[in-house]
Amino acid sequence: MSGLPVVLRVLLFGVAISLGLLAPPALAQMLPATQGDAQTPAAPAQASPNDIRELMRLLADPQIQDWLQEAANPAEGAAAQAARTSLRQKIEARLAAFGDRVQALGLAWQIVPRIPEVLASQWERQLSHAQKVRSLTYILTFLVIGFGLEWLYRRYMNLVLLRIELAPKEAPLQKLAGAVSRAAIISGGLLVFAIGSIGAFEMFDWHPLVQSVVLDFLTLVLVVRVALTLSLFFQAPFAPELRLVPYGTPVAKHLHRLLWVLSVTVGLAVVLSLVLARMSAFQDDAADLQAVVLAQSVALAGLVLLAAWGCIWVGFRRVPRLTAAACDPAVTRFWRNYAIVWVGAVFGCWLVGAFALMWSVVIVGFVVPALKLLAAWIDHFFDQSTAALYEEHKTEAAAELAAFEAAEAARQAEAPEAAAGAEDATETTDPAPPVAPPDMPEFHDPYISTRPIVKRAARFVLLIAAVFALASAWGINIFALSQDRSVAGRALEVLVDSFVALLFADLVWTWAKTLIDKRIADYEPPVDGQAPGPEARMITLLPLLRTILLVTLLTMVSLSVLTALGVNIAPILAGAGILGIAIGFGTQSLVRDIVAGIFFLIDDAFRLGEYIEVGDLVGTVESISIRSMRIRHHRGKVHTVPYGELKSLTNHSRDWVIMKLEFRVPFDTDLMLVKKLIKKVGAELKANEHYGPSILSTLKSQGVRRMEEFNMVVGVKFMTKPGEQWLVRRDAYQKVRDIFEANGIRMAERNVKVEIAGGEHLDPEAQKAVAGAAQDAIEKPSAPPKPVPDEP
Amino acid sequence: MPDAPPDPVQLAGLRRGLMIGSGLVMFAFLTCHLTNLALGLHSVALMDSWRWALSGLWTGPVMRVVLGTALVLHFSMALVTIYCRNTLRLPSYDMAQLVAGVLIVPLLAPHVFGIMAYHPLGLVPTYDLVLRYFWTLSPFDGLRQVVMLVVAWLHGTIGVYTWLRSRDGSARSLRVFYPFVVIVPVLALLGYVEAGRQIIPVAEGGGGYVMAQDPNAAGIQVAPQEAAQIVAQAKRNGILTGEVALVLVALAFAARALRIAAQKQGQVQVTYLGRRKASFAAQSGLTLLEMARLNDVPHANVCRGRGRCGTCRVRVLQGAQQLPPPDAREQKVLDHWNAAPNERLACQLLPDHGFLEVERVVQPDYSDLDYSAARTKSTLPQGNTP
C-alpha cells in the first residue's frame, strides 16, 4: 500500500530536480512542497552572479553530478535502493514478524477458552434469534431443492450407472472408460445439485453476513463432494469392476471413509475459521476481533492436525490388516512416520506464520510419495493390461488348439474309411502322417516400450506441476521472472529453466532410447549360412541414431542452460556454424560417403553377410561403418569400399538364385529316360535333410538345349535360396553322373572317326599316322563357353 | 419370523399389509397437507381458503380416528420390524427410512398437540395464525416444523417408492412418481417461506398480509391462566409423547439385541456360481441376501429384502435339503414368477449352517429381468424398472 506514494514522491522529487536545473528558484519552491514539512522560503527575486557561480561550482562537482544522475532516473534509483536493503535488515524484518506472530499466538492461547462465548455474542450482535432460525429454514429449503433435483437425476441415470458399475471389465482401458463415464454421471449429479442449490440460494433474501457464511458452507459441500467423487473415480469402493487401484474392496472402503473424514474436517475448519473473519468485516471494532480470529484458527488447525494424525495412524494400522498382500512392517512404519512428521511440519510452519515455507513443505512432502505412488499405479495399470492381453492370447491359442484337435480327430476317423474304400488302389493305404500342431506365436508384451515413456511423462507432469505450485507459493510468476533482476530471482529462473529443459530432454531421451533399445534387443542375428533378415539394416543404423540423438539433446540442454545463465550463446552458435561450413567443405567426400551410405542402407541395397558385387569386386559384406563397408572376397581378400564410390551394386543374396547346368550326351541317348532320371535326382536332392529345405524348385530337366557337332546338350536347372546353390550343384553333378552311369547313359566324349577312303590296306602304323594328322581338324573348333567358376 | 407365536407366516403377511395400508393413508394426508402449504406460494389467503379441503377433512371426526389409528398401527408395526431386523448394516434407503421414522414422532408430537390445543383455547388454527406463530413468535418451532416436513416426506416416499417399484410393470407409475417426490416438498417449503415473507413484516410492524375475516380476531376465549395451563399441557404432552416413542424404539432395539444374542451362531459357506462367481463365509442368522450384501457380492433386489419383488431369486444347486421349505408368501411370489422348484428368494432364505451353492436367476444389473416371465395382472407396459 505504501509503495505507490513512495514511488510517486521520488518521481516528483526527480522531476523537481530536473526542473531545478533549468529554474533554480523553483527548486526551492517545490522541494518543501513535495516533502511537505519545511516552511516555504521566500523565492529570491533575482539570481545574483554570485549564486550562478555557486551553482556552476556545484554542477561541476562529480558527487553532485552522480546524485543528480541518480535522481533524474527515479524508478531505477528506488529499485537500487530496495536492492540495497541489506540481508541483515531482511533478517531483522523476518525476526520481527516472527516475534509479532509469537506474541499474537500467546495472546490467542489465552483467548482460546473464551472463543465460544465471543462467537455467541458476535452472533447475537449481528442477528436476532428469529433471523438465525429463519436462515436455517432457508438453508434447509435450498438443500432440499439441491438434493431433490440430484436425486431425481440419479433416479433417471440409475440403471445406466448400475450397468456401468456391474458390467465385467477385462482390460484396464475398459475399466478406465467405465470409471470415466461413471465419474461423468456422478459429476452430472453434482452439477445438478450445485445448480439447484445455488439457484435456490439466490432466490432468498439473506442477511449479508449469513449469505457469506452460507455461501462458504455451500462451497465446502461442493468441494468435499468433488474430492469424494475423485476418490470414487479411483478407488470405486462400491464398484470393484471399476476400481483403478490395486487393492480390494475393504481397503477401498476404509480409505474412502478416511478421506471423507479428513476432507470434511479440513473443509469445516477452513469454513469455521472464515466465519469470524466474515463477522469482523461487518464490525467496527474489527481490530479487537483479530486476536480472537487467530485463536480460533489456531484451535481449528490443532483439531485438523489431530484429525490428520488420527487418520494417518488408523489408516496405516488398518490397511495392512485388510489387504491380502504382505506389507513390510518397516516400510509401513517409515511411511507412517513420514506422513506424521510431514503433517506436523506443515502445522509448525503455519503456526509460526511462514506461509510460503508451509506451502513448500506441503508440495515437496507431497511430491515424494506421489511420485512413488504414481509409478506404482502406472505399473499396475500396465500389468493389468498385459495380463488381460495375455489372457486373450491364451484363450485364442486354446481355441486354435481345440479346433486343430477336432480337425485331427475328424481326419483320423476318416482315414480308415478311406483305406477300406480304396483297398485295391495302387496308392499306399497307411494312415496319413500326423500333422504337427499349429505353432502359436509367442506372447509379446505390446506395452514394453510404452510403459517407461508413460511413467516418465507422468513424472514430468507431476514435477512441472509441483514447480509451478512452488513458484506460486513463493509468489513468483515464472513467466515474469526475466523482468526480475534480483539475485534470487535470477538463480530461481536459471534453476527452473534448466530443470524444465532437463526434464524435456529426459522425456525425449527415454522415449527414443526405449524404442531403439527394444528394436536392438528384438533383433535376432541370422543363423550361420542364412541370409540376414531385414532388421539387420536397422541394427546398423540404430546405435548411430541413438548417439546422434544423445549428442543433440546434450547440446541443446547445455545451450539452454547457458542461455538461462545469461551466457550469450550466439557466438557459440555462429562459431559452430562457421566450423560446420569449413568442416563441410573440407570433408566433402566424407559427408558424401556418409550420406550415400545412409541412403544405401535405407534402400536396403545390402546387408551384413550378403554376397555382393561392386564393380570388379565381389565378396561377403563383413562390416558396415558410417563411411564405408568392408567386403571379404571368398578367397580371403578384404575390400574396403566407401559408399560414395558406389555407383551400382549387385546383390547375390536376395530371395532366390537359379542355377543352370548342362550335360552333353550322345545323340543316341534316350531323352525320356534322361528326363525321368533327372526327376529322380531332383526328388533325392529335395529330400536331403541339410539343404533340402533351401531348395525352392528342385532339379528338373529342360530338355535338349542345343545340338552340337558330336553331342546333344541337355539343360537342367534348379532354384535355391541364395548361398545354397553351390552345395546343391555339387551334389546334383555327382548324382546325375552316378545315375547316368547306372542306367547306361554315357556322357558324350569327344571321339573322332577318321575315315580314310580306300584305306583298308593301310597297316596300323599308317592308320595311326593318318588319325594323328586329323588331330588338327578336331582341335580347331573352340570348346563351348564354360560356366563361370564363381563359387565363393 | 422366528419367534412370532402361532402362525408366523400369516402374521408377517398381515403386518406388511397393515404397514403398507397405514403408511399409504398417512402419505396421502401428508401430500394433502404439503399441497396446502405449497399454496402459500400464491398467498396466505389461498392457503386458508383451501384449508378445509386439504387439511380440514383429515381432522374431521372420522378421518381423525383413521389417521390416529394408522399412526399407532404403523408405529407398532415399525417396532416389530426393528425387532425382526437381522442386521443393522442396512442399505442406504432402509437406513434413511429407519432414522427418519425414529425421528418423526418426537418431531411431530409437539405440532399435533399444539394444533389440538387451539380448539380449547377457542381459536381456529388458520394458517395466518399458525404461520405467524412459527415465523415470529417461536421460530425454533418453525424450524422444527421444516425439519419434520423433510424427515416425514423422506420416510414416506421411501416407503411408497419401495412399495411401488416392487410391483410389476411399475415403469410408468414411477416415471410420474419421481418428479412428484421432488416437487411436492420443494413447493411446500417455498410456499412456507413465501407465506413467511408475507407475514413477517406485519409482525414486525410493517405492512403485509392481514386476513380479511379473521375468525381469531376476538383473541383467546378463555381466561389467561387457563390458557397458560392449556398451552403448558399441550407442550408437556408433546414432549412426553416424543419421549415415550423414543423409549419404545429403544426397547425394540434392546429386544432385538437380546434376540440376536440368544440366536445360536453358525457358519455358512456360500458359493455363487454362474456369472460373477463369488464365495464367502458368513454368520448364520442373516438372510442370504443380507450375507451377500455384507460381503459386497452384487445381488439384484428391487424391494430390498421385503420378499415382494422376486428379483433376488436364486437357484439352489447344493445344500437345499437343510433349508426350510418356502412359506406361503414366498411360494406366492415364486409362483407369480413361474419359478422352477429349486428356485428360492434370497431375502427369505435363512441358511444356518453348512454349504450352500446357488446361482442368481436375475443378474444384479437387471440386464435379464423379464417381466413377461411373471404372471402379471398389470395392464401397464412392461419394462425394466429397478
Instruction: Write down the pLDDT at residue B246.
Output: 94
Please indicate, yes or no, whether residues B162 and B290 belong to a single structural domain of this protein: no
Distance CA A191, CA A788 (A): 87
The model's pLDDT over B325-335, given as tens digits with 9 standing for 90+, comes to 888 888 888 88
* Closest CB to A148 among B136, B182, B192: B182
Q: Between A and B, how many CB-CB pairs are < 8 A?
A: 75
Instruction: Write down the pLDDT at residue A708.
Output: 85
Show which of B200, B232, B260 is a domain's final residue: B260
Distance CA B183, CA B169 (A): 23
**Cα-flanking dihedrals φ and ψ of residue B156, to 5°?**
-65, -45
Please indicate, yes or no, whether residues B121 and B152 belong to a single structural domain of this protein: yes
Place of cell 410393470: B169
The model's pLDDT over A53-88, given as tens digits with 9 standing for 90+, comes to 777 777 777 777 777 666 656 555 555 555 556 778
Instruction: Write down the pLDDT at residue A260.
Output: 93
The model's pLDDT over B81-108, given as tens digits with 9 standing for 90+, comes to 899 888 888 888 999 999 999 999 999 9
- CB under 8 Å to A74, separation ≥6 — which residues? A7, A10, A11, A13, A14
Instruction: Write down the pLDDT at residue A102.
Output: 82
* Average pLDDT for A448-477: 82
A151 touches chain B (CB under 8 A): yes
User: Is residue B349 scored above 70 in pLDDT?
Assistant: yes
- CB under 8 Å to A573, separation ≥6 — which residues? A559
ipTM of the complex: 0.87
* Closest CB to B142 among A133, A141, A159: A133
Global confidence as pTM? 0.68
Show which of B236, B260, B284 is a domain's final residue: B260
pLDDT, chain B, mean: 83
Of the candidates B207, B290, B241, which has an alpha carbon nearest to the alpha carbon of residue B108? B241
Record: contact A166-B386, CB cut-off 8 A: no
Instruction: Write down the pLDDT at residue B243.
Output: 93
Question: CA B208 → CA A262, A734, B143, distances in Å?
Answer: 48, 127, 22
Place of cell 409362483: B335
User: Is residue A22 scored above 60 in pLDDT?
Assistant: no
Dump the DSSP string for A712-744: EEEEEEEEE-TT-HHHHHHHHHHHHHHHHHHTT
Q: Which residues of B touch A136 (CB under 8 A)?
A: 143
In a domain, B180, yes or no: yes
The one-letter amino acid at A400: E
The model's pLDDT over A585-615, given as tens digits with 9 standing for 90+, comes to 888 888 788 888 878 877 878 877 888 998 8
Q: Which triple of cell numbers denotes residue B191?
A: 410456499
pLDDT, chain A, mean: 79
Number of separate domains in chain B: 2
Instruction: Write down the pLDDT at residue A605.
Output: 82
Please indicate, yes or no, whether residues B279 and B324 belong to a single structural domain of this protein: yes
Instruction: Write down the pLDDT at residue B311.
Output: 85
Instruction: Write down the pLDDT at residue A27.
Output: 35
The model's pLDDT over A648-662, given as tens digits with 9 standing for 90+, comes to 888 888 888 899 998
For B276, which residue in chain A has the nearest alpha carbon?
A: A168
Instruction: Write down the pLDDT at residue A436.
Output: 61
A461 touches chain B (CB under 8 A): no
Beta bridge partners of B318: B357
The answer to whether A649 touches A615, Cβ cutoff 8 Å, is no
B140 vs chain A: nearest CA distance in angstroms? 6
User: Is residue A486 scored above 50 in pLDDT?
Assistant: yes
Greater confidence, B176 or A326? B176
The model's pLDDT over B207-249, given as tens digits with 9 standing for 90+, comes to 666 766 777 777 777 778 888 888 899 889 999 999 999 999 9
pLDDT bracket for residue A256 (50, 70, 90): very high
Place of cell 429449503: A141
Please indicate, yes or no, whether residues B252 and B282 belong to a single structural domain of this protein: no
Record: contact A166-B135, CB cut-off 8 A: no
User: Is residue A44 scored above 50 in pLDDT?
Assistant: no
3-state secondary structure of B370: coil
Distance CA A742, CA B100 (A): 110
For B164, the domain range is 8-260
User: Is residue A576 scored above 80 in pLDDT?
Assistant: yes
Instruction: Write down the pLDDT at residue A150.
Output: 92
Dump the DSSP string for A456-494: HHHHHHHHHHHHHHHHHHTT--GGGGGG--SHHHHHHHH
Beta bridge partners of B257: none
pLDDT bracket for residue A11 (50, 70, 90): very low
Here the CATH number for the domain that contains residue B250 is: 1.20.1300.10
pLDDT bracket for residue A6 (50, 70, 90): very low
Instruction: Write down the pLDDT at residue A226.
Output: 92
Of the candidates A650, A652, A714, which has an alpha carbon nearest to the alpha carbon of residue A677? A714
Interface of B with A (CB under 8 A): 135-136, 139-140, 142-143, 146-147, 150, 178-179, 181-182, 185-186, 189-190, 192-193, 196, 200, 275-276, 296, 298, 363-367, 384, 386
pLDDT bracket for residue A492 (50, 70, 90): confident
Please indicate, yes or no, whether residues B104 and B199 belong to a single structural domain of this protein: yes
Percentage above 90 pLDDT, chain A:
15
pLDDT bracket for residue B295 (50, 70, 90): confident
User: Is residue A167 scored above 70 in pLDDT?
Assistant: yes
SS3 letters across B325-358: CCCHHHHHHHHHCCCCCCEEECCCCCCCCEEEEE
The model's pLDDT over A405-423, given as tens digits with 9 standing for 90+, comes to 888 888 887 766 655 555 5
CATH of domain A657-750: 3.30.70.100
A179 vs chain B: nearest CA distance in angstroms? 16
Q: Which residues of A touch B136 (CB under 8 A)?
A: 130
User: Is residue A24 scored above 60 in pLDDT?
Assistant: no
Length of chain A (residues): 792
Instruction: Write down the pLDDT at residue A135.
Output: 82
Please indicate, yes or no, whether residues B272 and B238 belong to a single structural domain of this protein: no
Percentage above 70 pLDDT, chain A:
80
Please indicate, yes or no, whether residues B282 and B160 belong to a single structural domain of this protein: no
Please indicate, yes or no, whether residues B274 and B251 belong to a single structural domain of this protein: no
Record: contact B135-A156, CB cut-off 8 A: no
* Average pLDDT for A103-120: 78
Please indicate, yes or no, whether residues B117 and B205 belong to a single structural domain of this protein: yes
In a domain, B182, yes or no: yes
Please indicate, yes or no, whether residues B231 and B322 belong to a single structural domain of this protein: no
* Average pLDDT for A683-693: 88
Instruction: Write down the pLDDT at residue A588.
Output: 84
Of the candidates A720, A730, A733, A727, which has an alpha carbon nearest to the alpha carbon of residue A652? A720
User: Is residue A42 scored above 50 in pLDDT?
Assistant: no
Please indicate, yes or no, whether residues B336 and B215 belong to a single structural domain of this protein: no
Instruction: Write down the pLDDT at residue A640.
Output: 92
Question: CA A638 → CA A619, A623, A625, A641, A653, distances in Å?
Answer: 8, 11, 14, 10, 18
Q: Which residues of B touch A156 (CB under 8 A)?
A: 178
For B383, which residue in chain A has the nearest alpha carbon?
A: A159
B6 vs chain A: nearest CA distance in angstroms? 41
The answer to whether A134 touches B139, Cβ cutoff 8 Å, is yes
Distance CA B195, CA B42 (A): 8
In a domain, B1, yes or no: no
Instruction: Write down the pLDDT at residue A554.
Output: 92
In a domain, B117, yes or no: yes
In a domain, B218, yes or no: yes
Distance CA B359, CA A210 (A): 56
pLDDT bracket for residue A243 (50, 70, 90): confident
3-state secondary structure of A638: strand
In a domain, B386, yes or no: no
pLDDT bracket for residue A234 (50, 70, 90): confident
In a domain, B383, yes or no: no
Distance CA A436, CA A456 (A): 45
pLDDT bracket for residue A482 (50, 70, 90): low
Distance CA A95, CA A417 (A): 104
User: Is residue A25 scored above 70 in pLDDT?
Assistant: no
Please indicate, yes or no, whether residues B274 and B253 belong to a single structural domain of this protein: no
User: Is residue A427 scored above 50 in pLDDT?
Assistant: no
Q: Which region among A190-204, A370-384, A490-504 has the lowest average model confidence (pLDDT)?
A: A490-504
User: Is residue A115 scored above 70 in pLDDT?
Assistant: yes
Domain spans, chain A: 3-84, 118-322, 476-586, 657-750
In a domain, B381, yes or no: no
pLDDT bracket for residue B27 (50, 70, 90): very high
The model's pLDDT over A266-299, given as tens digits with 9 standing for 90+, comes to 999 988 888 877 777 766 665 667 777 788 888 8
